[in-house]
Amino acid sequence: MKKYILGSLLVLVSCTSVEKVAEKEISDNETKDLGKTEQLAQIFEDSDTFRKTITGFMLFDPEGDSTIYAENENKYMIPASNTKLFTYYAGLNVLGDRIPALKYTIKGDSLIFWGTGDPSFLHPDFGTDDVYNFLSSFEGNLYFSDSNFNDENLGPGWSWADYNSYYSAEKSPFPIYGNVARVTIEHIEEYHLAKENGEYLINPKIFNKYIDDGVLSDNGRFVLERDRVGNEFEYAFTSDTSRYQTDKPFHYSPQLIVELLSDTLKKRVEYLPKAKLPSDHEMIYSIESDSLYKKMLLPSDNLLAEQIMLMISGVVGDELNSSAGIRYVKDNFLSDLPDGANWRDGSGLSRYNLFTPRSMVALLEKLDEKVEETQLLDALPQGGKQGTIRRLYANKDGGEPYVFAKTGTLSNNHCLSGYVITKSGKKLIFSFMNNNYVISTSEVQAQMDEILWFIYENY
């Protein structure tokens, strides 16, 4: 009896296994029979990852002027740093070939100057001395005014808790040193701020006088924190094994700017709070605009993006105000988007920003039409090669990059929008927008990687 039961079970298991194999073969055959767009749709439908996210997606063929596939393409999503694509397009349409660096007028033996928002002055990543040489060589009195600045230092919808982080540097009319203090931390028995000739290794050096010894944080880690509305830095010791540099945003005030300028130029600079910018003012230009856009897009630099929108407002109006710049660009260059953009800042730090995937695609089509292809693709992060996706979306065949796209990441949100150059040589536009998830971003990226590679191989 036991042998009979065992035999029956073996037959049952065997039949079940055959059925499962047959079902798999049928499923595989059905997949092979599906068209490539249906297969793409099947990947989305079967994705465990996308069941844990709110995802919008659109794949568009600009040559055929047709949508290949879309999911929730008309739903508004938080774009994060995909917003910088809007800022890039804005700059291309307004700023011209070179960045406006300084507005000034000369009265007698006095030079009065106003900032334009140009972020390149003494920035560690730019190599221009035009403004520095102009100011330092003037034989007379120097006066700085910020009367044309009518904005907040932090953008709308930014997290106030991020003020102490390098990616949340403050907006200002006259950025200097990238609006951050760069500090060297080293390990000699314990972690501490590095010193040389009795001074902390901090640039600008003037911040030496703003540093106070503090206490360890609750978890015993090294601390370097700035007052939220001031420039006093507190730090504490802890043990570790390396040396590094860290950037800490400083708080803008006109008094700090004239102090920094006086120290840097080695000549006195005074503040004139109410000096009105005359209509017949002169202008100095600094770096090439394309170099600024590339520096913004590849590492996703928030300060550069914010300052671009400030500069735009100063070109089209009398005041430096990001919201005014955004309104101008929306009214004059983006009124034909399929869905109106709820656009609130230049960088994408604001969670008030809301765009749809199809509006992102429409913007990318505008960029594709406005910028020569080699220049456009070179300015963007490239999968497996450069920028924020240098370790992602690499060509699995070992060939040239095929994904050229801007990332956008905030906690619980990750987006990627740009271009795919397929194996057949077609250039397709896509926008991935993933919001409101609590899984790891790496899981979302892995699913996107599968889909982008499928697109590369099949279109």
The structural domains of the chain, ordered by start, are 38-91+299-458 (3.40.710.10), 92-297 (no CATH)
pLDDT at 18: 42
Order the strands of the 110-115 sheet from edge to edge: 269-271, 141-145, 110-115, 98-107, 282-288
pLDDT of residue 218: 47
- What's the pLDDT at 215? 46
pLDDT, one tens digit per residue, over 304-335 is 999 999 999 999 998 999 999 999 999 999 99
Q: Which residues contact 320 (CB under 8 A, 6 or more apart)?
A: 115, 116, 117, 148, 149, 150, 151, 173, 310, 311, 313, 314
Rounded Cα distance, 136 and 213, in Å: 35
Q: In the prediction, which pLDDT does 282 show?
A: 96
What pLDDT is stored for residue 110 in this prediction? Answer: 97
309-335 CB burial, b ≥16 within 10 A, e <16? bbbbbbbeeebbbbbbbbebbbeebbe
The per-residue pLDDT for 243 is 66
pLDDT tens digits, residue range 92-122? 999 999 999 999 999 999 999 999 999 999 9
Cβ atoms of residues 240 and 223 within 8 Å: no
From CA 167, how far away is CA 185, in angstroms rounded?
Answer: 19
- Residues lower than pLDDT 50 in the chain: 1-31, 215-218, 239, 241
Residue 224 and residue 241: Cα distance in Å, rounded?
17
Chain CA centroid to CA 363, Å: 17
322 within 8 A of 171, measured Cβ to Cβ: yes
CB 62, CB 337: distance < 8 Å: no
Residue 318 DSSP SS3: coil
Nearest-angstrom CA–CA distance, 281 and 60: 46
Residue 254: both structure tokens together: 């006109």
Judging by beta carbons within 10 Å of its beta carbon (0-12, 13-18, 19+), is residue 272 exposed, middle or buried? middle
Look at residue 8 in the predicted model and tell me its pLDDT.
40
For residue 201, the model assigns a pLDDT of 83
